């Protein structure tokens, strides 16, 4: 990352002192920081400390006419690559969700056209309050990246989620967002800025992605080549279309798309549990490459090399998460599976749709000739198999597959 520009809004909470450490980390990472200190924030840190650490003037007031003449609050909100709020108090999150602009910080947040990252910090009950959770959900749907607060003992003596994430974790998140590109919704279809006007607003979309790892012993596991890219692209597209998205993810190295609730799992059995816990959902898109088998015996200690004979591995069948969901009383209204096939792609996928009793199957060819581009790669050539027949989609990026599929989902929900 070369010289990203961060606009850092420091809210009014005891955790504000950690913003100083964040400024230091951004500077150390080669970034430039301009700080905006709210009236509350100034109760905890001084403009002088932030100015000294950032080596930039600190902005505190909307009514600073000198700054308005020289910079202007609109320009200040747009000249950064990323806007970071640290700490994001319950009050700041509520004002953002309501679209209020009664001081410099909230005015900048309303005027910015740049991605916004919020690192919340507040009392545990304030964080868990329905109003805060509603505001956070709304902001996530609107594309704001709201981090989960840390859990632990709080300055007020209570215990639970609400502590500011460590500055190192915030800095890591900043790096991920900057490397992901300036606009978290980039490449997504043009949707109305208001989440409630988007086609999947009010719908819960459940997506599975990535491989599963089936442990053999504490250091070895059975896995496959799925990277999670196709499932993550679908989760991102559904969130951009206004849905509440739960992404149940096997072990991958991808960043969580903005507006998506991610649940990390390792094995197929954990994935089955997480899918069940996420219900009810209006739509489920099961993209994960779930291992069909696991090792029947998990060795509590690392299996040693003994003698000439390698150990034999006995396999047990994993639950079929998709088929179980199809038979569940909580079956989503639209249930979509993916099929990775190496031969007779369409015929096998048509059969899978019937056997698993799902509405749509998205079939893709993962034969050695094609598979490297698909599993782990950036593009996909898919066939959408529905009750009406088979549509052959031209080769395209995984993002494009995701966008087209989400458009089809939105249409199917409207058409009933």
Nearer to ligand PMT, 107 or 227 (CB): 227
Structure tokens at 407: 């458009």
Residue 152 CA to residue 15 CA, distance in Å, equals: 13
Nearer Cβ to ligand PMT (59/262): 262
Structure tokens given for 322 = 């998709």
Residue 144: which region, alpha, beta or left (left: phi > 0; alpha: psi -120 to 50)? beta
From residue 298 to residue 337, what is the string marking binding to ligand PMT with x (rule CB under 6 A)? --------------------x-xxx--------------x
Contact region with ligand PMT (CB under 6 A), list: 14-22, 159-167, 227-235, 402-410: 227-235
Asked if 289 is part of the footprint of ligand PMT (rule: CB under 6 A), the reply reads yes
Least distance from C-beta 24 to ligand PMT, angstroms? 37
- Please state, in angstroms and as integers, the Cα–Cα distance from residue 311 to each residue in 50, 219, 250, 290, 304, following that order: 61, 15, 27, 24, 9
Task: Mark 240-269 with x for binding to ligand PMT (rule: CB under 6 A) and - for no binding.
Answer: ----------------------------x-
Q: For residue 108, give both structure tokens.
A: 């900048």
Contact residue for ligand PMT among 60, 106, 227, 249 (CB under 6 A): 227
89 binds ligand PMT (CB under 6 A): no
Residue with smaller CB distance to ligand PMT, 84 or 345: 345
Q: Is 76 in the site for ligand PMT (CB under 6 A)?
A: no
What residues between 190 and 209 interact with ligand PMT by CB under 6 A? 208
Q: Residue 100: enclosing H or E segment and its boundaries?
A: none
Torsion of CA 51, 90, 164, 63, to 10 degrees: 0
228 binds ligand PMT, rule: CB under 6 A: yes
Q: Are 160 and 129 in contact (CB under 8 A)?
A: no
Q: CA–CA separation, 306 vs 313, rounded Å?
A: 15
Minimum Å gap between C-beta 253 and ligand PMT is 11
SS3 state at 317: strand
Q: Which of 77, 107, 364, 399 binds ligand PMT (CB under 6 A)?
A: 364
Cβ-based neighbours of 48, under 8 Å, separated by 6 or more: none
Per CB under 6 A, the list member of 366, 384, 406, 410 interacting with ligand PMT is: 366
d(CA 323, CA 51): 59
Minimum distance from residue 227 beta carbon to ligand PMT (Å): 3
Q: Does residue 338 belong to the site contacting ligand PMT (CB under 6 A)? A: yes
Start-to-end CA distance of the chain, whole Å, equals 46
Question: Would you count residue 376 as binding ligand PMT (CB under 6 A)?
Answer: yes
Q: Shortest Cβ distance from residue 269 to ligand PMT (Å)?
A: 10
* 340 is a site residue for ligand PMT (CB under 6 A): yes
Q: Is 286 in the site for ligand PMT (CB under 6 A)?
A: yes
Q: Indicate whether 360 belongs to the interface with ligand PMT (CB under 6 A).
A: no
Please spell the DSSP secondary structure of 138-199, one letter per residue: HHHHTT-EEPPPEEEE-TTS-EEEEEPPPHHHHHHHHHHHHHT-S-TTTTS----SSGGGST
Does residue 156 carry a catalytic annotation? yes
Tell me if 350 contacts ligand PMT by CB under 6 A.
Answer: no
> In whole angstroms, what is the distance from residue 228 CA to residue 299 CA?
28
**Min separation Cβ 158 and ligand PMT, Å:** 40
Q: Which residues are catalytic, by number?
A: 156
Residues in touch with ligand PMT (CB under 6 A):
208, 210, 226-230, 268, 286-290, 292, 318, 320-322, 337-340, 352, 364, 366, 374-376, 398
């Amino acid at each position: 990352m070369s010289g990203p520009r961060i606009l850092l809004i420091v809210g009014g909470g005891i955790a504000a002192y950690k913003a100083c450490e964040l400024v230091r980390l951004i500077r150390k990472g080669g970034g430039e920081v301009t700080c905006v200190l709210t009236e509350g924030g100034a109760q905890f840190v001084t403009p002088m400390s932030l100015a000294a650490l950032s080596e930039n003037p600190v902005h505190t007031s909307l009514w600073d006419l000198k700054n308005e003449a020289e910079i202007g609050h609109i320009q200040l909100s747009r000249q950064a690559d990323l806007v970071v709020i640290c700490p994001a108090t319950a009050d700041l999150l509520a004002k953002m969700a309501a679209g209020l602009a009664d001081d410099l910080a909230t005015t900048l947040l309303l005027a910015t056209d740049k991605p916004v990252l919020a690192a919340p910090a507040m009392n545990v009950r304030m964080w868990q309050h329905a109003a805060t959770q509603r505001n956070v959900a709304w902001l996530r749907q609107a594309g704001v990246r709201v981090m989960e607060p840390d859990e632990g003992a709080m300055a007020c003596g209570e215990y639970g989620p609400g502590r500011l994430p460590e500055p190192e974790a915030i800095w890591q998140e900043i790096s991920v967002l900057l490397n992901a590109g300036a606009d978290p919704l980039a490449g997504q279809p043009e949707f109305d800025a208001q989440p409630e006007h988007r086609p999947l607003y009010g719908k819960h979309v459940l997506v599975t992605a990535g491989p599963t790892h089936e442990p053999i012993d504490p250091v070895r596991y059975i896995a496959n080549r799925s990277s999670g890219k196709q499932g993550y692209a679908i989760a991102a597209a559904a969130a951009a279309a206004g849905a509440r998205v739960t992404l149940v993810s096997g072990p991958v190295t991808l960043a969580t798309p903005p507006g998506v609730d991610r649940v990390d799992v390792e094995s197929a059995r954990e994935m089955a549990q997480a899918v069940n816990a996420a219900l009810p959902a209006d739509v489920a898109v099961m993209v994960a490459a779930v291992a069909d088998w696991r090792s029947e015996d998990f060795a509590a200690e690392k299996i040693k090399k003994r003698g000439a004979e390698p150990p034999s591995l006995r396999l047990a069948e994993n639950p079929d998460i998709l088929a179980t969901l199809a038979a569940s009383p909580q079956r989503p209204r639209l249930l979509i599976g993916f099929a990775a096939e190496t031969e007779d792609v369409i015929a096998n996928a048509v059969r899978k749709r019937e056997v698993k009793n799902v509405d749509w199957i998205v079939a893709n060819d993962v034969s050695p000739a094609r598979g490297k581009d698909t599993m782990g790669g950036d593009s996909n050539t898919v066939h959408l198999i529905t009750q009406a027949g088979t549509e052959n989609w031209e080769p395209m990026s995984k993002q494009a597959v995701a966008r087209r599929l989400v458009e089809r989902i939105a249409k199917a929900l409207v058409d009933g």
